[in-house]
Amino acid sequence: MPIEMKHIKKSYGNQVVLEDFSLTIPDGGTVCLMGASGAGKTTILRILAGLTKPDEGEVVGVQGGKASMVFQEDRLLEWLDAFANVELVLGRISGGTYPAGQGIGRSAGMSDTKKSKSAKAALRDFLRLEFEAVGLCGYEGKPVSQLSGGMKRRVAIVRAICSQGGLLLLDEPFTGLDEVTKGQVIRYIKERTKGRTVVMVTHDAKDAAHLGAEIIRCGGLGNLRRMG
């Protein structure tokens, strides 16, 4: 079902950011919010994520309230490595499933300890492939604090993609990426988000075009118009 934001109002103190704002996002679609700074784009994402409550109005269609988000800041645990940052979001694996739905550590006849070790090894193999897909290789065991800004950005993107949420929110996701790396990451996002609903904020129309996103122009107080 589509996601609908109905007659949203949001203020911060005396500053009204969104006023009677409504938006319908098609199920499984990709939309891109564009507009000047202060137009309310990040606030829209935060309301969709359930991180900010509107003063008025409602949001319907976010199934189970499950959403994953790439923030403007990477928000990683700097003392952990890239693998551990993603594993924390997925939860402790003990015979669970890959984010893609493949079984982990469920071999018949194995003890619980062996199953747990098998699950962890399988998850690490899975994540290794995910990181390779965005050009990150050979950083196992290295704290995130030792990675460059562009590397941290890719870790944050992989973390959001691997989350179970059906709604993916991207707030300026390509900050700090060169053009070659950005192209690689865009291909990764397109491949991994088939069937998921994606809402992105960017100032670059080319990024929206590469993702095949419908562009929605946000004006003052969240006024919007859809672009063809």
Structural contact between residues 154 and 135, judged by C-beta atoms closer than 8 angstroms? yes
Which one, of 47, 192, 58, lies nearest residue 133 by Cα? 192
What is the reported pLDDT for 64?
62
> Which residues, 6 or more positions from 137, have their beta carbon under 8 angstroms from its beta carbon?
131
What is the reported pLDDT for 134?
95
Instruction: Residue 28: count other Cβ atoms within 10 Å of its Cβ.
Output: 13
> How far is residue 149 CA from its own chain's centroid?
17
Tokens of 121: 């090894």
Which one, of 101, 94, 62, 91, lies nearest residue 159 by Cα? 91
What is the reported pLDDT for 227?
55
What is the reported pLDDT for 157?
96
What is the reported pLDDT for 97?
43
3-state secondary structure the chain: CCEEEEEEEEEECCEEEEEEEEEEECCCCEEEEECCCCCCHHHHHHHHHCCCCCCEEEEECCHHHCEEEECCCCCCCCCCCHHHHHHHHHCCCCCCECCCCCECCCCCCCCHHHHHHHHHHHHHHHHHHHHHHCCCCCCCCCCHHHCCHHHHHHHHHHHHHHCCCCEEEEECCCCCCCHHHHHHHHHHHHHHCCCCEEEEECCCHHHHHHCCCEEEEECHHHCEEECC
Domain boundaries, the chain: 3-66+164-226, 82-133
pLDDT along the chain (228 residues), means of 10: 91 90 91 87 93 93 82 94 90 45 41 67 90 90 92 96 88 94 95 93 91 85 60
For residue 167, give the amino acid letter: L
What is the reported pLDDT for 74?
94
Question: How far is Cα 200 from Cα 207, in angstroms, rounded to an integer?
Answer: 10
Phi-psi region of 41 (alpha: psi -120 to 50; beta: other; left: phi over 0): alpha
> Which superfamily does 3-66+164-226 belong to?
P-loop containing nucleotide triphosphate hydrolases (3.40.50.300)
Alpha-carbon torsion, ordered 57, 62, 64, 68, to 10 deg: -110
What is the reported pLDDT for 138?
83
What is the reported pLDDT for 224?
60
What is the reported pLDDT for 66?
82
Burial label, 118 (beta-carbon count in 10 A; 0-12, 13-18, 19+): middle
